[in-house]
Structure 1
């Protein structure tokens, strides 16, 4: 089914289910306003008029649906059009948005709480069809049909909790790549990362007229990573829940403790927002709201940027940077006015302040928020200055949780297990190895490759099977190569017609003999980055065949000119980090910078010319004369051959682990007033970098980070200027923890067998437990080679089976009946009574002295265990 347009069947089912006649409703309320504030309505009308002009290239597809609409629906649809991101205007039709409006109103009329939802809350947090950067689909109708019978007689609070139980029946946590699947795509996979789970849950809640919004901590302060969850509007206030992780009550989740250490928690409000929350970033089409104060202690801080004469600097860029993933992630970027001031409400940890002007002057300084009111920072460095600094960044202190009534906990656990069984009963219907082998034999393909494809397809196996059956008729070899080059996630949500569009219309530029690997990755492959795939190849060939010249270079030059002349750049109104599909860009003639890159590369590939994003900088490149050539869209430049240099990376033996990119070190280039981290593969070991890594000449920040067990991060930062053709050796140096381990508790138990022992209690079904198992994969060889004595305990055979699949045999899980040893540890140690969230890890020596303890959500636990074990050994 085409989820963009064909939802009429679902919508009809909805109307029949709740017994509503749209015609009767329209006649009864033809003059009813959706927006009752006349000033706000005028603003919406004005912004809608701008959109009509912007989207003139798709006028019929978008605006013809307004004919005959009553006032309420017309205003609601205008509100959506006025503030939706550009890609929605480019990629979806008016019928889709109108049906979402009808569904939203019909659902509001179906539940007892509908009439009590404030107008502005409904407008911003029920009506919008988009949650984040997911592909849109017909889930609003499907989810209503599923949920209405379950919750129709419930209170709003009980309904919100019940919807989350239903979400858990469909989806649980598993890390995936950064592309966000559609809600129905998540059902096909039966899993998703936290951003997908929260998108899924918000969609489900809004489908039954429960105001909901996705909430993020963009980066944790105490550990690498981020997290997303959901807030629901109940009894006049926002309360939180863990998406697809149901609890017995609201305002409870496994993240309740770590979020008390957060430095930022934010959410986005669709449209012009006039609520009471702190707005940290107000744009034309949305607002980013700072809701940290509802989770953690906060403080207002100011930064005043001064020049070397102590005058305030106007138009300076200020970044409030939080260390995470080997960079200082900007919690907020702000441009100063004539007073030189920038402001942030944040948590009580450490930040790095970076400020720069338009004259290539800058300054950096670490601050402790609890000790800072206004920082005066002087721009006393020049771009190109070489120097180093060291920082110790301390996160907010751990805080104990308020006690929550445990009523309903046991019933919730029982339901949780039952919901797992429902989801697993669906998973067992996926393609089997036996069926896959039969398909491979029938089509004459390698069994192992076909099983890889079919096992990754999850609930989308019919689509991948259809693709293989049809594509192998004429493209047997190519059909496999295409699947080998798309992303793992594509298998479980792509429509086979998209794949057929790309393979049936695949071609290589006439007269060219490119290397096979180049052709497979950069011509045949439909994926450029993490964009949503579409059936665009034939369309682009038809539209741009007239640009094809005798050589690839001439063709690329013609395509550059067409793109520069026809595609307008609008970075302000394309938000959520989403881009148009190539066809949408062609029709709308508007895109953001990155969307234009996707369009250009997709078009070049359609014409048979290899093209890609350069791996480090994401500059557009095309392949010609056995080399990659840069493409820019500057006014007078088509091709850019940047000045290049080479670096050799090494590290001192003062650290015990090989450095990983974006874990222990990062490389960032100065561009447009700030340092941008290069896009090398995450977790890439230093030894996997070339002996001489080529990169553009320029000004760089080389950063190393050493995370301590308490979350503090020790950083060294070097600023270096690398000249054209220079070859420089860079030795990564780390700020070390010189402290001596001291016992923090006493626990004598036979489990240690008089050896230095790591003991862990783990629940693999939880997100924190899953994170440990994922993190451990990178270090499992180190653990076994260095004979780390570790014992993992779980509650039952089901948990043991899940753990044992992901750990070496030497660390096979053991069952701690009734958590006997777990309870004994807490009884005897007496130091950690309020820290019992799994996973729990300790390191205990033969004397029974406990030197290490961790509980709950932490990224990098395996590394911390390894560091402490080596110190004690």
Structure 2
């Protein structure tokens, strides 16, 4: 399978890995003895390119399943794939940060008959139709489940849909990878999709969102407004034809932005107070998103103090740091190619700094469109896929709420509920299930829950029930995969060691710090090594070590947690939670005050603490304002407070304040939002033409209806609250809307909508509103996406100008929309 040179490199690298195997060494080396020569090399390739957490968390047999299926595909060589492409994008088990389960052989058996005899491109499209039959989008929490769980659940968020689709493509030997916009610039969100290697080139597609052609997806325009899009490469040999951004542990991030957007090279030169170049400084290229500066890339300066990035044409916030020094600046890359930053010029002052953050304009990079016949075929096939998926989902339905949520994993929940456990544990079964997340129901294992229950119940009478359930019984600490660890921990430590830990929980952390090594270069951020894995290989990330601490505490009956605001490790003693880090005393106070604005954390404000040169956002989402005031108990230090006003055109008007807090100091800050003029809010987006029907069912070109003047389009969902709200707002201001009623177009599904009393009331008051009809399928999705609003929320409201460009749009429930519309038409 491997070239001689590649085989030598793998063997050499594996020899270097052996000292890091810890207690997994015997399992791995014994497993290799039973492999054929090619299987052994494939396994060694996987081990030398995987994060240590993979090696620690999963058995040899899991990876052997990937290796054997990869060899099976290589021997058939259906697509004539180069070695490096095959190893990294077909054989490799890891895609991003998903849980690993054997799945490739299973997916292959589902797909093999559907791709036989087809070209590479035809096979790619066919696989995506199958994915659409099996799963669709649904928002979930940040933990990324395994592709097999997505299949069994019939849904996942975009990061899960894309790992599922990549796995399906790899299962039939088609090279595929996930690409990722870490944060959009034009809206508060991110997105992941799929790239496929087809006849020597990379193409893209929307995961579980089939089209009849490649290089098309709802995100095509959105991706042209990104400041960065990247993919991951886990091999220790760098690719020769792609731009490396940075190394994140075992992964190399590759810059894919040039495939999607207009770009330029930005160079940052870092100097000290004497103008001398500063090498090995970290430069974070940040996007303002969710009201926080989020690093889409981090690059270290070279010997002449320079760091470069190919990026989009819009605003970037640059945060430069080295040791305890840091400096910030906002730039617009459209106007800047190179910038010097003085690392010594960081000034902490308690005053607001105003910023205008500009999102890139969208660009026509990929203009390919399916033909009429392709559209017709695709529409029918998508309808068929949806019907198959709905039938699959219907088979999951259950009157028991937990089993209904569990979907294809319901048998594991049933197994747990019916399992024989300790007599005193039986009454705690439902309470354990009650502390799990909905995603846990979809992929938990009954045996794991049984182990946690049987070991935890010993301590049930030691604490008040809420403390016991949340912080002793619960198997979940953060976003780690749920695993059994209590029996292992009990047997791992001697009775003397366990007694010492119970007597002084801080000794547990001291023991972890002394025995568990952190090697970030061999890890991948956001992957968590399980408690058992940490103890077996004596290695783990900082987060993994924190989870290990909580796991040991809970195993020994000590309530413990990670604090929701800052992630600090805490254990329960004398009726309260105490931080392990004694220096982390929150004895400083920052009192935030507000006038009339509604403040929503990670929407229009956030606060971050400076730690080792980096600002780390606090999670204050659960805190509630009282009478326009919010008191924050904080550690002494430097904080960055941000308020963010996202405009309809994607730009942001922001304010930033840097606050220095001394020990026991109290400061009061009046939160302020930077307001925008109407002209700052509007867009100028060319809209694709679309077809509607009039009352006689005659097909009408939509844009022919709105030429030469501003027009207001509203796709009506009658009798639903969001539509009722905007209709009532219009009716309340009917005298003002009378001046533009001939420029208003209501679009509805059919004439039965006219029976709705609220709609009828508005039409009686504004008799010259035009009415047209639409299926609410393709047009809503296309136009909403084009205007960067949510296509799944109705009503869809769009204002077009005299050139038929979209200048304003909104969707769903939004208070005050009528006033905004009148402002636009009044301008």
| TM-score past 0.5 threshold | yes
Residue from 674, 678, 684 that aligns with 2:618: 678
> Shift of residue 859 of structure 1?
9.9
- For residues 736-775 of structure 1, the C-alpha deviation after alignment (integer angstroms, 9 at most, x for no partner) is 1023688989999999xxxx9872379xxxxxxxxxxxxx
Residue from 304, 314, 322 that aligns with 2:279: 314
In structure 2, C-alpha distance between the alignment counterparts of 1:119 and 1:545, rounded to whole Å:
49
> Shift of residue 551 of structure 1?
8.3
1:705 and 2:655 aligned: no
Counterparts in 2 of 1:5-84, with a 5 A limit? 33-36=1-4, 38=5, 40-67=6-33, 69-84=35-50
In structure 1, C-alpha distance between the alignment counterparts of 2:308 and 2:169, rounded to whole Å:
34
- For residues 494-537 of structure 1, the C-alpha deviation after alignment (integer angstroms, 9 at most, x for no partner) is 11111111111114659x84332222111111101111001222
In structure 2, C-alpha distance between the alignment counterparts of 1:833 and 1:611, rounded to whole Å:
48
Query: Residue 570 of structure 1 corresponds to which residue in structure 2?
Result: 519
RMSD: 4.0
> Shift of residue 560 of structure 1?
2.4
In structure 2, C-alpha distance between the alignment counterparts of 1:788 and 1:229, rounded to whole Å:
43
In structure 2, C-alpha distance between the alignment counterparts of 1:521 and 1:833, rounded to whole Å:
45
TM-aligned CA distance change 1:834 to 1:708, over 3 Å? closer
1:624 and 2:624 aligned: no
- For residues 328-369 of structure 1, the C-alpha deviation after alignment (integer angstroms, 9 at most, x for no partner) is 1112222223311111110011111121332x4332221111
Residue from 54, 58, 68 that aligns with 1:92: 58
In structure 2, C-alpha distance between the alignment counterparts of 1:215 and 1:838, rounded to whole Å:
23
In structure 2, C-alpha distance between the alignment counterparts of 1:671 and 1:455, rounded to whole Å:
44
| C-alpha contact (below 8 Å) 2:798/2:806 kept by paired residues | yes
1:425 and 2:391 aligned: yes
Residue from 809, 820, 824 that aligns with 1:868: 820
Give the secondary structure class of the aligned counterpart of 1:213: strand
Query: Residue 607 of structure 2 corresponds to which residue in structure 1?
Result: 667
- For residues 405-456 of structure 1, the C-alpha deviation after alignment (integer angstroms, 9 at most, x for no partner) is 42411111111111111111111112432xx3xxxxxxxxxxxxxx3x2222
Query: Residue 214 of structure 2 corresponds to which residue in structure 1?
Result: 250
> Shift of residue 818 of structure 1?
4.0
Query: Residue 457 of structure 1 corresponds to which residue in structure 2?
Result: 406
| C-alpha contact (below 8 Å) 2:683/2:807 kept by paired residues | no
The range that moved more, 205-214 or 348-357, is 348-357
Counterparts in 2 of 1:482-501, with a 5 A limit? 482-501=432-451
| C-alpha contact (below 8 Å) 2:648/2:682 kept by paired residues | no
TM-aligned CA distance change 1:216 to 1:427, over 3 Å? same
| C-alpha contact (below 8 Å) 1:125/1:270 kept by paired residues | no
| C-alpha contact (below 8 Å) 2:750/2:774 kept by paired residues | no
Residue from 544, 554, 576 that aligns with 1:605: 554
1:717 and 2:656 aligned: yes
Query: Residue 690 of structure 2 corresponds to which residue in structure 1?
Result: none
> Shift of residue 125 of structure 1?
0.8
> Shift of residue 617 of structure 1?
1.4
In structure 1, C-alpha distance between the alignment counterparts of 2:749 and 2:36, rounded to whole Å:
59
TM-aligned CA distance change 1:792 to 1:599, over 3 Å? farther
| C-alpha contact (below 8 Å) 1:843/1:869 kept by paired residues | no
In structure 2, C-alpha distance between the alignment counterparts of 1:126 and 1:371, rounded to whole Å:
41
Counterparts in 2 of 1:508-527, with a 5 A limit? 513-527=462-476
In structure 2, C-alpha distance between the alignment counterparts of 1:626 and 1:528, rounded to whole Å:
20
In structure 2, C-alpha distance between the alignment counterparts of 1:783 and 1:471, rounded to whole Å:
56
TM-aligned CA distance change 1:690 to 1:428, over 3 Å? farther
> Shift of residue 550 of structure 1?
6.3
- For residues 808-835 of structure 1, the C-alpha deviation after alignment (integer angstroms, 9 at most, x for no partner) is xx99xxx9744599989x9xx9xx9999
Query: Residue 589 of structure 1 corresponds to which residue in structure 2?
Result: 538
In structure 2, C-alpha distance between the alignment counterparts of 1:381 and 1:251, rounded to whole Å:
45
| C-alpha contact (below 8 Å) 1:705/1:734 kept by paired residues | yes
Query: Residue 770 of structure 1 corresponds to which residue in structure 2?
Result: none
TM-aligned CA distance change 1:784 to 1:494, over 3 Å? farther
In structure 2, C-alpha distance between the alignment counterparts of 1:325 and 1:150, rounded to whole Å:
42
> Shift of residue 278 of structure 1?
0.6
Query: Residue 338 of structure 2 corresponds to which residue in structure 1?
Result: 374
| C-alpha contact (below 8 Å) 1:301/1:369 kept by paired residues | yes
TM-aligned CA distance change 1:681 to 1:791, over 3 Å? farther
1:647 and 2:557 aligned: no
In structure 2, C-alpha distance between the alignment counterparts of 1:535 and 1:259, rounded to whole Å:
41
In structure 2, C-alpha distance between the alignment counterparts of 1:478 and 1:791, rounded to whole Å:
58
TM-aligned CA distance change 1:545 to 1:527, over 3 Å? farther
Give the secondary structure class of the aligned counterpart of 1:343: strand
TM-aligned CA distance change 1:373 to 1:749, over 3 Å? closer
In structure 1, C-alpha distance between the alignment counterparts of 2:818 and 2:486, rounded to whole Å:
50
| C-alpha contact (below 8 Å) 2:328/2:346 kept by paired residues | no
The range that moved more, 196-205 or 566-575, is 566-575
Query: Residue 443 of structure 1 corresponds to which residue in structure 2?
Result: none
TM-aligned CA distance change 1:788 to 1:161, over 3 Å? farther
Equivalent residues, number: 771
- For residues 712-756 of structure 1, the C-alpha deviation after alignment (integer angstroms, 9 at most, x for no partner) is 1111000001222233323211111023688989999999xxxx9
| C-alpha contact (below 8 Å) 2:262/2:363 kept by paired residues | no
Residue from 555, 558, 563 that aligns with 1:614: 563
In structure 2, C-alpha distance between the alignment counterparts of 1:34 and 1:63, rounded to whole Å:
20
Counterparts in 2 of 1:270-285, with a 5 A limit? 270-272=234-236, 273-282=238-247, 285=250
> Shift of residue 117 of structure 1?
0.3
> Shift of residue 538 of structure 1?
2.4
> Shift of residue 236 of structure 1?
0.4
The range that moved more, 265-274 or 220-229, is 265-274
Query: Residue 740 of structure 2 corresponds to which residue in structure 1?
Result: none
TM-aligned CA distance change 1:139 to 1:424, over 3 Å? same
| C-alpha contact (below 8 Å) 1:302/1:373 kept by paired residues | yes
> Shift of residue 850 of structure 1?
10
In structure 1, C-alpha distance between the alignment counterparts of 2:157 and 2:74, rounded to whole Å:
29
Unaligned runs of 5+ in 1: 1-32, 437-450, 633-638, 763-775, 805-809
| C-alpha contact (below 8 Å) 2:195/2:203 kept by paired residues | yes
